[in-house]
Structures are given as structure tokens and as C-alpha cells.
Amino acid sequence: MKNLLLQIFTWWNGQTMGTRFFTWRFGKRVGEDELGNVYYEGPMTSWGKPKRWVIYKNYAEASAIGPGWHGWMHYRTDVPPSKEDYKAREWQKPHKPNATGTPLAYRPQGSLAATGERPRVTGDYDAWTPGN
């Protein structure tokens, strides 16, 4: 029941009911990536290309699409990674979720959120005190 309510009232938890119906009616499953996201292709768009979309396994985050599938989703290639022996290049890194706002967030030295004391730098401001 919870999953049904999420599909009716939210778009960021997998798919909505409208997307489910459209996928059932028009979608042709093309493949699945290592994260469990499922990719579909459908009817032609007004510019003559087939509509492509992804159903995320969990929380909908666009950066969770791998490099091979990203190229296919953006029409850089017509062959999906599931139909070829796609190998990511050395500079293409696996997905890491955005850690902003979590304890795992990057906090550079000198940041107000970092632990410890910030080292003094040449451009630091010295507060004015009366009598100086």
C-alpha cells in the first residue's frame, strides 16, 4: 500500500502512476544497468527520434545513470549498452551519490563546517578596536 501511495503522490520515489501507465502502454524495455535502473524506448517524438526514459530503482537522481546509458539517453548513440560490449573509459568513474548536507560532505580546510581551527592567511581581517 505504501508503494502505491508513493507512486500516486510523489515523483522522486521510482515512477508515478502516469509513468507506469505510459510505460505499460508504449514502452519497450531496452535494458538495465548495474544499479537496477531500467531503460525504455517508446514512440517517435515530434523531431523524429524515439522517446527514451529511465525508471530509477530507488530515489530518482539523474546522476545515477552510468556513462554508457547517459550517451544512449541523450541520443549520442543509437546502440544501448545492453546490445554491445560497452566498457567505460578509465576517466569515467562510477556513480557516487551527492553527499551535500550529510556527515560525508566535503569540508575543505578552513571551512566553517570543518573541524579544528582554520589556519591564518594573509588576507585575514583584523577587527578594529577603539583606541587603536
Q: How far apart are CA 107 and CA 110, in angstroms?
A: 8
pLDDT in tens, 41-81: 999 888 889 999 998 887 787 788 888 888 899 998 888 98
pLDDT in tens, 86-126: 887 888 877 777 888 888 888 887 777 777 676 667 676 77
Contact 20, 14 (CB under 8 A): no
Report residue 20 as a C-alpha cell: 507506469
Q: How far is CA 29 from CA 24, 52, 98, in A?
A: 10, 10, 28
Q: What is the pTM of this model?
A: 0.65
Type of residue at 68: G
Contact 41, 30 (CB under 8 A): yes
Q: How far apart are CA 78 and CA 56, in angstroms?
A: 21
Domain range summary for the chain, segments of one domain joined by +: 26-83
